[in-house]
Structure 1
Amino acid sequence: MSFLDQYQNDIFVSYSHVDNLADMDGQQCVSMIVRQMRSILKQRLSRDGVEIYWDDSHLRANQVVDEALQAQVASSGIMLAVTSPAYFDPDSYTLKELEWFLQQPGAGDRLFVLEVLPVDNENEMHPEVFTRKRFQFWQASGGAVGTPMILDPRHDRQPYMTALTEFCGQLRERLVGLKKEAGGIAPGSAQPAEPAATVLLCQTTDDLEYERGQVRSALQQFNIRVLPEMEYPQGGKEFRQAYEADLAEAGMVVQLMGRAGGRMPADMPNGYLSYQCDAAISAGKPLVAWRHPEVEPSEIENSVHRAQLQRAEVITCGLESLKTLIVKSLEEQKRPAREVRSSLIFIGADRTDMPLAKELLQALSKRGLPVAVPIYEGTPDEIQEDLTENLIDSDSVIFVHGAAPTKWVRSFMRRLSRSLADRSGPPDCTAMIKAPPPKSEGVNFSFPNLQIIDCTDGFDVERIISQMELKL
C-alpha cells in the first residue's frame, strides 16, 4: 500500500543497471541504497512505509515492457534519479524514464537527484538534472588525483548513513507535502505543532553538505521550520526567484562557508554565496554567516570568495557552537523589546590608547551622557565579561585605534560582530577613531554603517564629537 493515495507508487527509482553491478564482494550499490532508503522512510513515516518501484529485471527493449514501465512512471509520486556518467548514455533507458516522468503535470517539483558519481562534462546532462541541486553521494579518494568514489557503508559507514539519512529526510518532507496537497493526513503529522520559527538555510558548496545537514537536523529538533523544503534550481534567474520566495518567509538566514567558493553563473557574477548574503541583508533579515576556524581566508586564492569569508557578518566557531548560537538568537527575537533608556556610549580601547579614550569619556560626560570604557583590572574572566556586557548593552560603540596594533582592532570588531546575536538591534552609532600615529595600512575589516573619523593629524575631542552621529 502506498503512502500517497493518489499514486500507485510513492517513489520510482530510475538508475543505470551499470551502477548496480556486483562488486568483488557481491555488493550492489543501488540495491543497497534502495533497501536502506525503504527502512529509513518506514521509520519516519508509518508502519506501512512507502511503495518504491525499481526495475531490477534487466528486461528492456520491447513494446510491452515500454508500455508497462511508462505506466509505472506515470503512476509514481516522486522520481528518484540515481545519476552517474552511465545514466546519461544517449542509448540508455534512464533518459526515457526521465522524459516520461517530466511529461506529468508538476513533475519538476517531484524530481530528486542522487548523484552516485559525477559527470565530467556537465553539458552531457539532461537540462532538468543540470539545473537543479544534485545530492552528492560520492567522495574523492585520497591522494593527488582525488578519484570520485561511491560512498560505501563498509568503509565509509558514518558519511554513508549521514548522507542517506539526510536525503531521506528531504524525501519524507516532500511525500508529506504531497499527501497534504491531496487532502490526506500524513501519519504522525495530523496536528503538527506550529513551528517555533522559520530559518532559511542557504545553499552551500558540496564540501559543506554534511555540516548543512547537521544544522538542519538540529534546528528541526527544536521544531524550527527549515527552508528550502526542496533544493533550489540552478541558474541565476530561477535560483533568485526561488530563493527570494523563501527569504520573504524566513525570520533568519544562515549561510555556511567553506574553502570552496562555488559556481558563479554568468548572470550571478559573484556567485551563489555572495548573492544569498547580500539579498538577506537587503531584505533586513538577521544573517548568521559562518566559517569553521580551520578555514583561513588568507589561504584562499579566489579573491571574490576570500572577500566573502572576511565579511563583517561572518562568525568563526565550531559547528556545535553555531547550532547553539542560532537557537539562542531565535529565542532573543521573541523577547519583548528592551525598555527605552538614555543612550549608553561605550568607548573601546587597548591599554595603549586608554588615555585618549578617557579624554573622550570626560568630554562626553560633561554633556550628561552615560559613558563607559574597558576595565583592565581583575581576572581575565571578569575583564572579558565586562567587555561583552558593554558591547551588548551600549547604544553607541566607539573604538579608538591609535597606538594599538591592527590585530587588536580586528579582534574588537569580531567580538562586536558576534555580540549582534545577543542584542535587540545594531548600535545606533558605530565609529572608529583613527588616532595618532598615522597608519600605513588599513584594518581590512568592514562593519555595517561603520563611521570612520580620521584624527591621525591630531586628537581633537570637540571635532570628534561634532562629527560622530551620536544621539546627544
Structure 2
Amino acid sequence: MAYTPGYEYDVFVSYASVDDFNLIDDGDGWITELVELLDRMIRSRLGGGDNLNIYFDRHRLASNHGLSTLLDAVRQSATFFAVASSAYNQREWTQREIAEFCEQPDYTNRLFAIEYLPLLPGERYQSILETRKRLAFWERDSAFNVEQTLVRGSATYRARCTQVAQQIATQLFAMRFGSAAPSPGAPERDPATQLTRPSAALTPAAAATPAVTAPHAQAVRLVVGQTAADMEDDAERLKAFFADLGYDVTYLSEIRQGGADFKADATEAMAGATLFVLPIGTHPGRRPKDLPDGYYAAQLDVARDTATPTMVWRRPDVSGANAPVPKHGALIDDDTVIAATYPGFVNQVRYLLEAAARAISAAGKPTSGYIFINADQLDRAAAEHLQDVFVTIGQDTAVPIYDASPHELREDLIERLCDCDTLLLLYGEVGLRWVRAQLSMLSKMRPHMSARIKAVCIGPPAGKSSNLGFRSPDLQILDLNPDWQHSPILDLVNRSS
C-alpha cells in the first residue's frame, strides 16, 4: 500500500549498482544512505507519510530480481528517481527502466534525476536525461582539478537532499490530494506540502490571493540575489525550488562579478522582473574596491533603480547585533526585512509569483464584453437606468442581485467582478465607506479579474468630492452629474477599444 492512491510504490529508485559503494568507510553504500535519508525527509514533509513505499532494489544482480520484476515495479510507481552517472548511462537495465517509465502517461512531472558524477568528456546521455535537469551531487575540487561526489554530512549534500525531498514530496502530495489549497488557520507548513497564508509583510492584494498551481509560470520572472557564504545554500535552494515549479529564475551569483560588470548584468536581469528576493545573514559578504558598500547594497541599489519589487529575508534568529559591520547590521534589523523560517518565506514568495501568473493568465483571456454596474441598493434605480441606456445601443450589462441570501449575493458579486470586461462602481446615494470597501475588495481580487476598464462613477446628489482617498493605476473617476449621464462612460469604452 503506497501513500499515492492507485500505485504500489511512491518512488522507484533507478541506479547503477556499481555506484553504490561507501566513499568513506565500510558502511552502507552511497546510494543506500542517500535513499534512507530521502525516505526520512519525504516522510517528514508529508506529515509522517506512514504509507510511503519506496522501491529500492538493493540486490539488483540476484537471479530473483530480474528485469521483468523491475519493469513491473516501474509501471506501478508514482514517481521515478534516477541516480545518473556514466555507469547508469551505459547499463542496459537502467536504460530499460527509464524508457519504461517514459511510456507512462503524464510522466514529465513525475521524473526526478540527480547526477552522482558528470559524464565522461564527449559522452552524452542516451535517454531523456540528456534534456532533463539533473541536480548535481558532485563538485569540482579546484586543488586537484577533479570532480568529487558530495559526501554525506556536508552542508551542500544536505541542502541538495532537501531539494530532492521537497520536489518529490510536492509531487506525491499533489497526486494524493490534488491542488493544495491553504487551510484557514493552519500552522506554517513546508512549501513542498501545503501552502499557507503569507505573513503581514506582504501587500494586502498578495495576501488575499488563494494558492493554486501557477498558470503561465514561464511568463513570471524571479531574480534570486547573490549572498554571502552563510546564505548560499538557502539561495541555491530558492533558485532550484522555483525553477522546478516552472518559473524563469535568474541567480545573480551566476552573473559576471566586479563592480561595473555585476551592476550591468544585475540591471539587465532585474529589468521587467516580477520579483527580486535577497536572503541575508550576519556575514556582510565581499566588498571589492569598486563596490565599497558590498554586493548586498549594490543589488538593492539596482532593484531600487529598476523599480523591481523586492523581498529581503532573514531567519528569525539572525540579528543585526551579531553582524561584524554596523551598516550591515542596520540592514538586517530594518523593518522592511522579512523575518521568517525558510518554509514560511518560500510560501510568501510562491503566493506572490502565483498571483502574478494568474494576473498574466487573466490578461490573456478573451473578454466577455459585458459591463458590470456595481451599485448598492440605494443606487439600484440608477444602475437599472444605465442598464436601459446601454441595452438600447446593443451593449450587454449586468447589475448585482439584490434579493438573495448574503452568501448568494457575495458569490454572484465575485463571479461578476472576475468575468466582466468593464466595471462601473456607482457612487450616488450610498456613502463613501461602501465605495472604499468595494475598492479594497477589487484590490484583493486584481489577479483574478479580466476587466480592461474600471471606473468609479460619481452621480447625484451633487457636491461629493472626487478624492476617494483610494488610488489605483488602472482606476478611472467619472463625473456623471447632474443626472447619471452615460456619455462619459461610452467615451471611455470607445477610447479603450
Q: What TM-score bracket applies, with the shorter chain setting the length? A: 0.3 to 0.5
